[in-house]
Structure 1
Amino acid sequence: MTKKLVSVAAIIVGIAASVSHAHAEDLVFTLKNATSSTLERFYTSPSGVDDWEDDVFGQDVLEPGQSIKITIADGRSVCKYDMRFEFTEDSNLDTTEDTQDLCKMGSYTIHE
């Protein structure tokens, strides 16, 4: 019985360690919209990857003057990300792209 208890405890410790390790790689930052237009879509992708990941906002948008906490939980230990910002059709702003080391930044502000 004691061997089984030790084995179960070892498995639980292993699972807990892997879960905490996955959370350690989550990249969290605040995105601020300092433009006069609604940010409709926001895409990120690690630098060097040719395709954009899914739209981070989904059905949401980021209105002028608002900010949102973004969590990139892709399991990668990457800091440098390409970003693509798409505004509403009635906006006078063009789609904008930028590359930043998001680990060094607690926030990113999109300007006109």
Structure 2
Amino acid sequence: MHDTSDLTCARQRTERIALLNDAARQGRDRTARIVMTSGLLAEFGGDTVAQSMMVQARLMAALRHCTFAPDSPERDFASMDVDGIKVLMKVDYYDTELAFGSEDPANPAMTQRVITLMRPADY
């Protein structure tokens, strides 16, 4: 049997991580990094720098407005459709040097978030 205070604490921690992930996705976390796989960018095409920038802008807009399934309470994984192409979004938690996993994703002082946008084949 679980202590209700333990469950409350776990829920608060999960919600804190979710809010930090939201801030990273929405561009409000200056330390977060957003990367797109080369396979994803290639799938969208774009022969010029301007076309490539427009693709990236559409992907960033989709990232900021994506929705999450109930099985992603930390809002760290999502699937979305952009221009008819399935795109996955995954948040990973690293230490501040990007060398190891973060010991506490709920603590922004010791966590750097890296958001990856990719094709399902890249996952």
TM > 0.5 fold call? no
State the TM-score, normalized to the length of structure 2: 0.28
Instruction: Identify, as 1 or 2, the structure richer in helix.
Output: 2
Higher strand share: 1
Higher relative contact order (CA 8 A, sep 6+): 1
User: What is the TM-score of this pair, normalised by structure 1?
Assistant: 0.29
- Whichever of the two has the greater Rg, that structure is 1
